[in-house]
Amino acid sequence: MTHSLENIIKNLDKDINSLSVSELRKKYLSKNGILPSLFTDIKNIPSSERKEYGQEVNSIKQRVENALSNNTQRDTDTSVVEKIDPTAPFDLNTSQQKKPRILDMKGSSHVLMQEIGSILEIFQKMGFDILESRQIDDDFHMFESLNFPKGHPARDMYDTFWTDDGLVLPAHTSTMQNRALRKFGPPPIRVVLPGRCFRHEATDASHEHTFYQIEGIYVDRDISVANMLATIKEYLQEYLGKELDIKMQPAFFPFTEPDIEFIISCPFCDKKGCSTCGYIGWIELMGCGMIHPNVLTSGGIDPKKYTGFAWGVGIDRLTAIRRGIGDIRKLREGDIKFLNQF
C-alpha cells in the first residue's frame, strides 16, 4: 500500500463523520478529487501490487458512496422536519447536532462534589477529621449500634434498600458513627463523615432515593448542647456567608438524647419570607442532638466520662439552598445545560 493511500484510509472515517454531503462529494468524487486521482495512479503501481491497490481504492469509493447516501438521508430529515426539543443539550436544527457540546467542554466536578469540597474545607479549618461513609453496610452499623434494636418502630423512618444476603444501603451517614468512635477514640473525637445515602421513598422536589449527607460527631469531656449549637451555627454561617439566627425544636432520633431539629433564619430574606423558605422566614435544616449513652457505650466510649453531639445534614438540600435550585432531582438528571451553570 502506498503512503498516501494509507493516509487517505486513515482520514476517511473522520471525513465521513465531519464533512457535509457536498464537502464529502467534492473532496472525494469531483474531477480533481481524491478518488479520480487514485484511479489515475493505477498505471504507476507495480503490477504485483496493482490488484491489492485496486481493491483498496474500490473499497474507499464504496464507503464514500454509502456515506453520501446515508448523510443525504440524514440532512434531508433534519431540514424537512423542524424538530424542537427544549430538553436537548444542543439545538437540533443546527450543525451542532453533529458535535454535541460535551465534546467541546473541559471536564469539571459536579456541583454536589464542589459543595462537599467547600463543606469539608470549613470543617478541616475547625479541626475536624474526615472519614468517608460507605455505600453498603450491615444491620449492626445502620441500626443496632445506633440504639435501634430489632423491631424498633423508628426503623420504619429509615426505609431503604437491602441486598438478598441481608446487607443494607445506608439511609443515613450515622451508619459510620460506631466506626468513627472506635477509630478516633479515646476522646477528644472531632470527625465529619460525608457520604452517599439511600431511601426507599417516593421522590419529589425535595426528596430523592439517592442523596449525599454529612454527619458530624464531637465527643469530649463536658460537651453540652451549647457547644453543639455554636459549632453548627459557626459552620453554617461560614458556608452560607451570612450571620444567622437559630432556633431549636424537639425531634425524635433513637441515637441522640435530647433530639433537636436545627432551624436557621432564611439567609436570603432575613426572616421576611421568600420562595426559598416557603415564605416563613425560617428553614428547618437538619437533625442533631447529644449522642445517646447507649451509642457511646457501643462505640467503646464511657458515657459517664464523656459526652458528645452529632448532627446529619443533606448536602443536596444545602446545595439547593446555597445555589438556588428549586428541585433537587435536577442534581442527578445529567442535564448538561443545567450542570453548565455551576
Task: Identify which of residues 51 and 272 has a Cβ nearer to Zn ion in the complex.
Answer: 272
Q: Which residues contact 180 (CB under 8 A, 6 or more apart)?
A: 131, 189, 191, 193, 217, 299
Number of residues that bind Zn ion (CB under 5 A): 6
Grid cell in block for residue 33: 478529487
Are the C-beta atoms of residues 182 and 145 closer than 8 Å to each other? no
Grid cell in block for residue 336: 448538561
Q: What's phi and psi for 176, nearest 5 deg?
A: -95, -5
Site string for Zn ion, 165-194 (x = CB under 5 A): ------------------------------
The Cα-based distances of 51 to 55, 208, 233 in angstroms read 6, 64, 81
Q: Using the rule CB under 5 A, is 320 a contact of Zn ion?
A: no
Instruction: Tell me which of 269, 293, 297, 330 binds Zn ion, using CB under 5 A.
Output: 269
Sign of the alpha-carbon torsion through 74, 79, 81, 85: positive
Using CA atoms, how far apart are residues 174 and 217, in angstroms rounded to an integer? 9
Stretch that binds Zn ion, among 7-15, 77-85, 277-285, 321-329 (CB under 5 A): 277-285
Cβ-proximal residue to Zn ion, closest one: 266
Q: Using the rule CB under 5 A, is 277 a contact of Zn ion?
A: yes
Stretch that binds Zn ion, among 48-56, 60-68, 158-166, 275-283 (CB under 5 A): 275-283
In 3D, which of 336, 334, 332 has the Cα closest to residue 208?
Answer: 332
Stretch that binds Zn ion, among 31-39, 112-120, 147-155, 262-270 (CB under 5 A): 262-270
Instruction: Tell me which of 211, 253, 255, 268 binds Zn ion, using CB under 5 A.
Output: 268
Q: Using the rule CB under 5 A, is 146 a contact of Zn ion?
A: no
The helix (run of H) or strand (run of E) holding residue 102 is: none
Instruction: Tell me which of 126, 225, 240, 274 binds Zn ion, using CB under 5 A.
Output: 274
Instruction: Tell me which of 266, 315, 328, 331 binds Zn ion, using CB under 5 A.
Output: 266
201 marked among binding-site residues: no
Secondary structure of residue 213 in the 3-state scheme: strand
Return residues touching Zn ion (CB under 5 A).
266, 268-269, 274, 276-277
Q: Which residues are annotated as a binding site for Mg(2+)?
A: 257
Q: Which residues are annotated as a binding site?
A: 257
